[in-house]
């Protein structure tokens, strides 16, 4: 059964064979490395490049490497060793920054990173970390920046997003240079100072009780490092909401979903935790976090407590309908851009005005990149530069490429919405209870429909 399951995945035109093999190996039930064992060297190179970018390399390194090419096993062992050494740098950097904040009498909470240990990753040395995330009260945020600037950090002015959750990243300039190693022990860490745990201005979804997370913070210890973190329940809620926010922004979420799946799987029998979860959090927060729980179950086949399954069942019918059809859309977007998430977002909004705003922001560009825009990446320059040395022609070719690609993506998004509507008219509501079964049967018996070729 497993062999036929993996072979069917390899034939699914929506995903490269190496991704199908990786997903099969990382399942928390009925996992299989057969697909990985059959990869060619070229596919292994593609998989490792993808794993580095998606922060899945260290998860792959924990898979039994029987049948792997020797060079792959050696590469993964080197990555693990380098990251273990790098974690010592992470700890030292954190302690220095935390001391600076404490000396300035600024209370803070540490988010993500090494705080995921031990419930979401067994060992902090087995989790990639490129920055430190601190949450401070909004009235303290500028003082926090000043305190970190006093020890050598500067604002990175090259990166900025509209309506962010945090200040622009703080970095230390130095002589370090990129040498192609994502786990370079000497690679400096940036620092992000967060002033909100849920950005209502971006999502248009209100969750007032998130403000209570600060009052429930607690001190923890990871590998000899003491820090203030979120409570166990708030930590889970924050991660699930972080996944949802990133899904609604079209960002990559694979490593976050994998960590969430591990928590759900390992705590599936913890009745006390889930009873407390139900009593502590509002129906609205539980509903929104349940969307991330669906991703964890569909992508990584984790066990779930009956309370989690009950929360999923209570999701709005339209939201469940979207998840039935597009549960793998975020994976697809890692290879071919799509904006299927816009239809999920609209199912969560009650205001017609907000729904129109979300659709407009997602499908209608609000600006045209300038000639010197960072949007003209190195890859685009390599593609366009050989065509002409004239900057004006290069810019025209760049815009043409962007416009054609954008129109194609918008067209695909609208076509899939129409197909989804017709599909729901035919399938009916009872199909939801077969969500997880149909999700995996789609692998074994791929649909002929162009809009449902997902995991």
DSSP string computed for 16-80: -HHHHHHHHHH-SSS---HHHHT--HHHHHHHHHHHHHHT-HHHHHTS--TT--HHHHHHHHHHH
For residue 173, the model assigns a pLDDT of: 78
Higher local confidence (pLDDT), 12 or 120? 120
Whether the per-residue pLDDT at 452 is higher than 70: the answer is no
Higher local confidence (pLDDT), 106 or 444? 106
Whether the per-residue pLDDT at 238 is higher than 80: the answer is yes
Whether the per-residue pLDDT at 368 is higher than 80: the answer is no
Secondary structure element (H or E) that encloses residue 392, with its range:
helix 391-427
pLDDT band at 272 (very low <50, low <70, confident <90, very high): very high
Burial 73-103 (b: 16+ CB within 10 A, else e): eebbeebbebbbebbebbbebbeebbebbee
Average pLDDT over residues 370-399: 54
For residue 418, the model assigns a pLDDT of: 82
Q: Do the Cβ atoms of 131 and 169 come closer than 8 Å?
A: yes
Higher local confidence (pLDDT), 449 or 145? 145
Higher local confidence (pLDDT), 9 or 221? 221
Q: What mean pLDDT is reported for the chain?
A: 85
pLDDT band at 163 (very low <50, low <70, confident <90, very high): low
For residue 18, the model assigns a pLDDT of: 94
pLDDT band at 12 (very low <50, low <70, confident <90, very high): very low
For residue 182, the model assigns a pLDDT of: 94
pTM of the model: 0.85
Average pLDDT over residues 334-356: 92
* CA neighbours closer than 13 Å in the CB half-sphere of residue 272: 1
Whether the per-residue pLDDT at 183 is higher than 60: the answer is yes
pLDDT band at 242 (very low <50, low <70, confident <90, very high): very high
pLDDT band at 198 (very low <50, low <70, confident <90, very high): very high
User: Is the N-terminal amide bond of 409 cis, ω within 30° of 0?
Assistant: no
Token pair of 431, please? 């199909």
Q: Do the Cβ atoms of 261 and 28 come closer than 8 Å?
A: yes
Whether the per-residue pLDDT at 384 is higher than 50: the answer is no
Whether the per-residue pLDDT at 5 is higher than 60: the answer is no
Average pLDDT over residues 272-276: 97
Tens of pLDDT, residues 387-444: 556 667 766 776 676 677 777 777 788 888 887 877 776 544 444 454 555 554 444 4
Task: Mark out the alpha helices in 267-349 (DSSP H runs).
Answer: 271-280, 283-300, 306-313, 317-326, 329-332, 341-347
Average pLDDT over residues 335-361: 92
Cα 332 to its chain centre, rounded Å, is 13
Beta bridge partners of 135: 109, 194
CA–CA separation, 278 and 248 (whole Å): 25
Higher local confidence (pLDDT), 161 or 292? 292
Higher local confidence (pLDDT), 117 or 412? 117
């Amino acid at each position: 059964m497993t062999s036929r399951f993996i072979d069917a995945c390899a034939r699914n035109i929506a995903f490269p064979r190496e991704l199908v093999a990786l997903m099969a190996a990382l399942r928390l039930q009925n996992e299989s490395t057969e697909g990985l064992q059959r990869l060619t060297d070229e596919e292994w190179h593609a998989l490792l490049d993808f794993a580095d970018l998606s922060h899945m390399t260290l998860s792959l390194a924990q898979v039994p490497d029987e049948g792997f090419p020797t060079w792959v096993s050696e590469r993964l062992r080197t990555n693990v060793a380098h990251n273990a050494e790098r974690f010592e740098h992470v700890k030292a950097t954190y302690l220095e920054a935390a001391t600076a904040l404490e000396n300035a009498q600024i209370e803070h909470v540490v988010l993500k990173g090494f705080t995921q240990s031990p419930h979401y990753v067994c060992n902090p040395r087995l989790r990639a970390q490129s920055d430190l995330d601190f949450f401070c009260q909004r009235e303290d945020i500028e003082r926090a920046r000043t305190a970190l600037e006093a020890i050598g950090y500067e604002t990175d002015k090259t990166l900025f997003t509209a309506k962010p959750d945090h200040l622009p990243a703080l970095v230390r300039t130095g002589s370090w240079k990129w040498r192609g190693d994502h786990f370079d022990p000497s690679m400096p860490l940036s620092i992000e100072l967060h002033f909100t745990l849920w950005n209502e201005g971006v999502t248009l979804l209100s969750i007032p009780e998130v403000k209570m997370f600060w009052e429930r913070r607690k001190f923890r210890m990871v590998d000899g490092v003491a820090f203030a973190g979120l409570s166990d329940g708030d930590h889970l809620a924050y991660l699930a909401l972080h996944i949802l926010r990133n899904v609604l922004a079209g960002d990559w979420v694979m490593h976050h979903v994998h960590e969430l799946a591990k928590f759900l799987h390992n705590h599936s029998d913890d009745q006390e935790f889930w009873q407390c979860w139900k009593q502590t959090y509002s129906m609205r927060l539980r509903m929104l976090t349940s969307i991330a729980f669906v991703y964890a179950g569909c992508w990584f086949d984790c066990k779930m407590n009956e309370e989690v399954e009950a929360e999923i069942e209570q999701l709005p019918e339209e939201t469940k309908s979207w998840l039935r059809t597009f549960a793998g859309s975020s994976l697809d977007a890692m290879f071919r851009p799509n904006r299927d998430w816009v239809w999920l977002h609209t199912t969560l909004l009650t205001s017609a005005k907000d729904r129109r705003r979300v659709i407009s922001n997602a499908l209608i560009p609000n600006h045209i990149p300038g000639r010197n825009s960072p949007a003209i990446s190195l890859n685009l320059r390599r593609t366009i530069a050989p065509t002409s040395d004239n900057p004006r022609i290069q810019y025209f070719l760049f815009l043409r490429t962007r416009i054609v690609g954008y129109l194609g993506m918008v067209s695909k998004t609208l076509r899939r919405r129409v197909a989804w509507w017709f599909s729901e008219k035919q399938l009916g509501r009872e199909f939801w209870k077969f969500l997880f079964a149909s999700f995996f049967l789609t692998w074994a018996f791929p649909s002929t429909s162009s809009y449902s070729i997902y995991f």
